[in-house]
Every structure is written in structure tokens, then in C-alpha cells.
Amino acid sequence: MFCECGCGTVTNVADRNYKKDNLLKGAHHRFVSGHQARKSLADQLVSRSVRDSLTGCLEWTGSLSVGGYARLSYRGPNLTVHRVVWFLHFGLIPIGTFVCHRCDNRRCIEIKHLFLGSHSDNMRDMSGKDRSLFGEMNRGAKISAMAARVVLRLSEFSDLSQREIGEPFLLSQQQVSNIARRANWKRTLTDTQIRVAS
């Protein structure tokens, strides 16, 4: 017999009579231990969220993923709560589709703050709100913003080769070329910032 909470777990067989549960020895228990007290998914969402009066966000107070997204374990797997909320309101989420936050609050599960989009939509939204990690904030940055400006100035106004420019900064010729063409450090190397730096 399976647990009546719907988790799909097979229940244990009673090793004695349980008058309180009206269960005879040899019969299956109705629930796996602790499952009879489980809350429904909707009840968990309500009991583990708090409204932020300033932003209007419905913030998850339960556990968070490594990336800071609201998550919960329900009948087995860990689920991202904002996707669960979308599913409960609108049904299935198409494969490859993201549930994105308008409010940029990863803990928010307010349905009015969520929208469906592709990876490109999500990246465009992030970039449009200046939330992307660029310049020195990017973990992959090998040099500082000031050093990038110096490299750009040297590549524009000196007779040094790109390899020679890159040596003191431990940059390859290709990395110097990317800075010179503004393929890297685009936001940091705007004209106004270069004038300020000089």
C-alpha cells in the first residue's frame, strides 16, 4: 500500500495492533512516518512567504538554491518556487522557457512579477537593467578597469606591438587586440570614461 499523502512511498506493515489508528497487526500503515502532517503545496507557498510592502514582492522565507532562488522539496525533488507558482497559475511551462522576474528579486514568488521568456529575453532583461557582471565585477576579469584604459591608450597612441603592450599586464596579444577593438571592456571603455581617465 502506498502512502496516502501521495508521495508514492510504500508504507510499512504494522508490527502490532494500533487502536488509535484502527490498524491491525500485519496491515499497512496509511502514511509513512511524518507524512500525515504534510501541508499541501499551496499551503506551503502561503506559510513560507512574506509580502514586502515597499516592492510588492512576495518573498520566499524557505530555503534558497546556491544561486539565491527560492526552492522547496515537495514529494521528492527540489523545485524552484517561482516556476511552481507559474505552473499553478498557468499550467505547463514549455521546454526551454524561463520564468523570469520583472522585479529582479530571486526570492520573489509574486505571480504579477513573473513572465515567460527565452534565455535571450532573460539576458536582454538583465543587461537592460545593468545587472550583468561586466568589467572588474566579472570573475573572469584578468585586469582592472584602469589597466584596460591604459592598454587601450597604449594601443591607440604608442608604437608598441600588442604583444609588448600585453606583457606587463600578463595579457596575450589576442586579449590586447580585443581591448583595442573594444570587443572586451565595452562599457568601461566609453569615450567619456577615457577622457576622464586622461
Cβ–Cβ under 8 Å, residues 2 and 11: yes
**Res 13: pLDDT:** 86
Beta strands in the chain (DSSP E): 49-51, 58-60, 71-73, 78-80, 98-101, 114-117
Which SS3 state, helix, strand or coil, does residue 70 take? strand
Cβ–Cβ under 8 Å, residues 165 and 159: no
Tell me the pLDDT of the chain (198 aa) as tens digits: 777 766 778 888 888 888 877 778 888 887 777 776 566 778 788 888 999 988 999 999 988 888 889 998 777 778 899 999 999 999 999 999 999 998 888 899 999 999 999 998 888 887 777 666 566 666 677 788 888 889 888 988 889 999 999 898 888 999 899 888 887 777 666 644 444 444
Beta strands in 47-127 (DSSP E): 49-51, 58-60, 71-73, 78-80, 98-101, 114-117
Rounded CA-CA distance 185/183 in Å is 7
Predicted TM-score (pTM) of this structure = 0.54
